[in-house]
Amino acid sequence: MPGRPRTGQTARPRIVRHLTVLLSALLLVLGAANAGAAHPADAAAEPTDGDYVDRVNPWVESDIARYFFFQSASRPFGMVKLRPDTSTHSSRDTGYRHNENQVKGFSHLHDWRLSGVQVMPTTGGDVPKLEGDKGWQSHVDHDNGEVAEPGYHKLHLDRYGVDAELTSTDRVGMHRYTYDKGGSSEILVNLGGHLGEAIMERAHVTRSSDRRIAGYVVQHGEGFDADDAEHKVKLYFDIRFDKPFDSLRGWADGELADGGKPVDKVSGKDAGASVRYDSLRAGEQVQMKVGLSLTGAEGAKKNLQTELSGWDFDAVKADARAQWNEMLGRIDVGGGSAQQQEKFYTDLFHVLCGRSMISDADGAYLDNTWGRDRIGRLPTGRDGKPEFAMYNYDALWLTQWNLNSVLGLAYPEIYSGLVKSQLQMYEDGGLLPRGPVAGNYSMVMSGSPVTSFITGAYNKGIRDFDTDLAYEAMMDAQSVGGLYDKAWFDYDGWGTGGNREYLDLGYVPDGTTGQGAGQALEYANQDFSLAQFAGRLGKRGINATQYAKATASSELDKEHGAGHAIDGRPQRAPTDVEWASAGEKQPWIELTWDKPRTLHQVVLSDRADKDSNVRSGTLEFSDGSRVSVDDIPADGSRKSVRFDKRKVTSVKFTATGGEGTDVGLNEIEAWDDTDTRAYLKDRSRNWRNLYDEETGFIRPRDADGGWRAPFDPLAPDDFVEANSWQATWFTTHDVMGLANLTGGETAYADKLNYAFTAAEKDRFIGTYGEGHVSYGNQPGLEMAHLFNYVGKPWLSQYWVRKVKEKTYGSTATDDGYGHHDEDQGQMGALSALMGMGLFEVTGGSLQKPVYDITSPVFDEITIKLDPRYNEGKQFRIVTHGNSDENKYIQRAKLDGRRLDDAWFRHDQLADGGTLELWMGDEPNKDWGTKQLPPSESKSEGRTPAFVRDISIEGPAKVDEPYGDSRFKAAVAPEDASFKEVLWKVTEPDGSPTDKAEIGLDGTLTVNHRDGRVRVTAVSADSGDATASKLVDIGLDPAELRGNAACWPGVKATASSVFGDDYPAGNVHDSCDGSDAADGADWASDGELNPWVQLDWPEKITADRIVLSDRTTQDDANGGVLTFSDGSEVKVEDIPAKGPKTVEFPQKTFDRVRFQVEGGTGSNNGLLEFEVDAVPSVPEAPVAVGAEAEKGGATVRWKPPAFDGGAPVTGYLVRPYRDGKPLDPVRVDGAARKAELNGLDAGEPYTFTVTAESMAGRGPRSAESDPVRPG
């Protein structure tokens, strides 16, 4: 799929706002002088008038986000998420973008693998219908009159001269179109093709009257196979118009219905319909309502009638705004900058957009678990309304560090409803969801993240759900046949999650699932959460069959073996789940254990086969006792058999009343008396089995216990979208346990601090599994807060502020949420928590949850507490002396009492009250260390061994312009707890230098400048060891090269381009100084062996070309370079990530073409096309001028338009008197002026400036106008 275009952290687009915003902006301008003291980077925010909608900016990071990310005309958690689309061809790198100007239409659903019903108003003659949404797309000017805000969207379709306005209720989208000119109009309803998250396959539309059409569209989510019947779903719609239309027309199966004539219905593949108005007046309005449902045509009709029976667009818009204001306003913030407030409410906006109700207004819902296609009905309250809704959403993966906290604080009723919907799905399908999609499972991501979600709700007092059912469901999820048994995205398979190995070995071995180490960490953490829950409920007993061996008297075939009776799989799962005998009337199945089990209950489930039923039987135990079993339900429901406890090593069930040919069982469970809390708590220590003391990291190991080798902690091998640097810290239920193993609290903090120092240059953002720290994806989101747990809270305050500013602080259209996976409110929730100075490292898993305190960016935060779940009315956080500089907490009070801890309990928040923080610009290293936050292990008081001595190995001289010079540091003593060093390069006196840069690994890169630098290594621990080395830089000019793709006049062309956002020019867009990896790319339009070409106005000489492939799934792999002299160079093995350097004998040419050969994917292209050519001397500086001074002059200039391909290293400024040159003054390459002294007063002088580089000295500039020194 095409990669993302670069926008260079575009400023927020100009969006038309309400008068209040304009007045606020004026006040901000007038008050900027006073505001600067508190937040010099931005104007201070004015007090709110209660209108929080105006502080939401839906455009933040929308230019690089997923399809469903941008939201506007929707309701909090609503089904309908109505908005325009500018690109729809994929779920990634698409959506509604400020850097794209062609609106494809207005679609109603933007959710996880669910979309549908795209609408587009048109005018004039017929628009193309059979080309997809590109055929009817219209240009929009985002900066001219567009309004995008929660609950409402307005824009102008330039192609058609139509003002389009959008708003919605939960399940109904409402449109209002105003026509600039009179004439005909068609309103298109597209029901075919790729629409972001889903592919619309076929549809049926019927004209019911001249104001109504209705029907359905069959779709499947992107990522599901087209022949996957269980994930196909019908989306029903009921569409009404406030004005009678003249005719209905349509298209399907690649042609216009009835040749384009009026029809009463349209049906077929890739279908659509158009409502035609033959004559509308200039300024006339047409309104449209679209009711949606997954349950049927009647459901869509009822939803429309219930939620939007009238036609008052403005009233619906106002109601939406009021609802958004109420929900956003549950957390009120004051102080901070205007941008910080804008970002905060945009964060909350994404939290409230991220989950979508998909049940009907009357409680009907689609139960499509395992493709069931059943309509269920939710329980209703006394008011007749459903007690909760069913939802559709992306993964719950690791939401314990973001969404769960925000929902628990401000939206507990939504939290409760989500839990109830998850339990409903368990009752329907026999398994809890990870990411439910249209009533079925998607199995997105890994483990049982729903455990943290449910237990977190309970621990925070949200308990209005069936807790026994919840316990049963979570135990099932974390047992054989549950979620632990399923790898990520594995819908059909079982046993792919490594659970069998986890139970037997205490970890998931390397090579078992490809994510074993990461999965084991998740399982251990989720086991801890469930252990706390089991302890709170006083639960005992586990289904011991997961540790048993099953044998049977006979087996029908391999697919119906005895093992399936203890596999734990849901009865309707799409794989083999039953034991069936081979025709016996009285078959038996026996379970045996290596060690005795104290059993008290057996649960039997018959096969879901109406012709073969077990009916009754006998349980026989190894102690000789027997228990008769009667009335086993034939429908497969559970039959519980309770009896006095008995300690046994086996139990045999023999069918005595069987009927049919293949009598057997779906499941047999044997429940013992295990202390469940202790059992799960013991499993929660399994992370220790993967801790490698030699490397100090969580390290994959094989089934025999051998460690993975070679091992690179920065490699993503065997982790889940992470690496060991990011994943090792995922022992959040036992931070102190890891600290003890690491060498103590200080050693732990030193290592963690090193990770953040290493990641800061990348703004703490890495692609999946890359970098020491990445706040662009879920793994590792807890890392900045961990310092609180080892007695270094000032480091949490420092790094949380840094991450908040650098990763989540922007409100640009291509920045603000980490660039990778905002994931339906997860990064928004984390950003909001950081702004509030609250977090939950333990993710709500403790029986008495705690909040970690860090450094808020606001002066006051007020959280309104729901009285149904809390004793208090509100909880306030107040800071004193807060500013960008004053990020460190000096002291604190909770409810007027001194607080010396960097944490407090949830029940203290739920009671209402005030947390006060006094801030300063230096850390108070005593505050927050009195009593550390809860951890399973106690501190062992270990003292680290610091590095005492460092010696540096590396060259004393560097002369190769492009080679990397590697420096290494040897540290002593050998048993130092943390041996990493931090590198820096400076001028010999320690001042900053532009001669060279040095990386984290000690690799020195020179910047085309001669001279001497100092390379220094500093121990990364809390000691003070340091060493340095002087290095001479004497580059060989003959080896000097410059990227000729950046030289003036170069032109890029290509055989084709995917679209306006992927032009050929993108292959040299890194010339603006940004990292090529962050840039846009050239993508072809799908042809075989595409090419891209660079042309120069004059010949260049080069001997090296560097090609970087696109970072998508479309790989060039190889190709041919063809030069203007007719020569060719074959290119092979272009890596999918990273550059490919191609060297060849020097050539002189003015054109080079790269043609792909053997590419894979549909849109081959390149990210960058670098041509390393022999540079020339720089051109002359320009705009040279002089100002007379006493006894001298000040000369100013601008740098050359072209530096020749090598950086300017210095300037010669030469004075002239009476036309004769005098001695010049030399300044460095960064200078733009020079002061010349010792000139004769009253005499005329002119000046020239000459630029120098390693390629030589360029021509002198034109002479300045004469000046006479005083």
Q: Is residue 832 part of a domain?
A: no
Q: Looking at residue 440, what DSSP letter applies?
A: E
What pLDDT score was predicted for residue 32?
Answer: 33
CB within 8 Å of 239: residues ≥ 6 apart: 189, 212, 213, 214, 288, 289, 290, 291
Question: Which amino acid is present at 393?
Answer: Y
Containing H/E element for 1170?
A: strand 1165-1173
- Cα–Cα dist 654/1212, whole Å: 101
**Of 1147, 1173, 1199, which closes a domain?**
1173
User: How far is the C-alpha of 464 from the C-alpha of 456, rounded, in Å?
Assistant: 13
Task: At 740, list the tokens.
Answer: 């003890």
Q: What is the pLDDT of residue 1054?
A: 97
- Residue 482 maps to which CATH number? 1.20.1050.60
Coil, strand or helix at 756: helix
The answer to whether the CB of 704 falls within 8 A of the CB of 600 is no
CB of 1080 closer than 8 Å to CB of 814: no
Residue segments in the chain with a per-residue pLDDT below the cut of 70: 1-49, 1072-1079
Unique residue bearing structure tokens 């708003």: 167
pLDDT score recorded for residue 1111: 82
Cβ–Cβ < 8 Å for 341, 53: no
Distance of CA 527 to the CA centre of its chain: 25
Task: Tell me the two tokens of residue 1236.
Answer: 């010349």
DSSP line for 1052-1074 = EEES--SSTTS-GGGGGGGGGSS
Q: Cis peptide leading into 973, omega within 30 of 0?
A: yes
Write down the pTM of the prediction: 0.88
Q: Which residues 6+ apart lie within 8 Å of 1162 measured at CB? A: 1086, 1114
Q: Which residues contact 827 (CB under 8 A, 6 or more apart)?
A: 350, 402, 775, 808, 817, 818, 821
Give me the number of domains the chain comprises: 6
Q: Which amino acid is at 102?
A: Q
Residue with tokens 């600067």: 36
Q: Is residue 561 part of a domain?
A: yes
Q: Where would I find the beta strands (DSSP E) of 112-246?
A: 114-123, 138-139, 147-149, 152-157, 162-168, 172-179, 183-191, 193-195, 198-209, 212-221, 232-241
Question: What would the DSSP string read from start to end of 480-501?
Answer: TTSGGGS-TT-SS--S-SSHHH
996 and 1057 fall within a common domain: no
Last residue of one domain, picked from the residues 639, 658, 674: 674
For residue 1079, what are its two tokens?
């840039």
* 535 phi, psi to nearest 5 deg: -65, -40
Quick one: 293 and 370 in the same domain? no
User: Do 1149 and 1204 share a domain, yes or no?
Assistant: no
Q: Which residues pair with 1131 in a beta bridge?
A: 1119
Number of Cβ within 10 Å of residue 806's Cβ equals: 17
Clarify whether residues 1089 and 1226 are in a common domain: no
For residue 838, the cross-strand partners are: 853
- 42, with CB counted inside 10 A (0-12, 13-18, 19+), is buried
Pick the last residue of a domain from 263, 288, 314: 314
Same domain assignment for residues 987 and 1063? no
Whether 128 and 262 share a structural domain? yes
997: CATH: 2.60.40
Say which amino acid occupies 1029: K
**Residue 1200: which CATH number?**
2.60.40.10
- Residue 648 is given by DSSP the state E
Domain hosting 383: range is: 354-497
**Cα–Cα distance, 351 to 474 (Å, whole number):** 25
CB atoms within 10 A of CB 309: 10
Sequence-separated (6 or more) residues with CB below 8 Å from residue 106: 82, 83, 84, 85, 118, 119, 120, 164, 166, 173, 175
897 domain-assigned: no
> Are residues 269 and 132 part of one domain?
yes
- Position 609 in a domain: yes
- The span from the CA of 732 to the CA of 749, in Å, is 14
Q: Are residues 1132 and 983 in the same domain?
A: no
Residues 1046 and 1073 in one domain: yes
CB crowding 881-903: b at 16 or more within 10 Å, else e: ebbbebbbbbbbebeeeebebbb
Looking at the structure, tell me whether residues 227 and 264 fall in a common domain: yes
- Helix, coil or strand: residue 27: helix
Would 167 be classed as within a structural domain? yes
771 located within any domain: no
1231 and 1136 in a common domain? no
Report the C-alpha gap between 952 and 944 in whole angstroms: 23
- Which amino acid belongs to residue 1124? S
1011 and 960 in one domain?
Answer: yes
Angle between helices 449-459 and 516-537 (to 10 degrees): 30
Could you tell me if residue 1133 is inside a domain? yes
Instruction: Compute how many other C-beta atoms are within 10 angstroms of the C-beta atom of residue 575.
Output: 15
Q: Is the alpha carbon torsion for 353, 357, 360, 363 positive or negative?
A: negative
Other beta carbons less than 10 A from residue 1190's beta carbon? 10
Strands 73-74 and 81-85: antiparallel
Q: Evaluate whether residue 841 is within a structural domain.
A: no
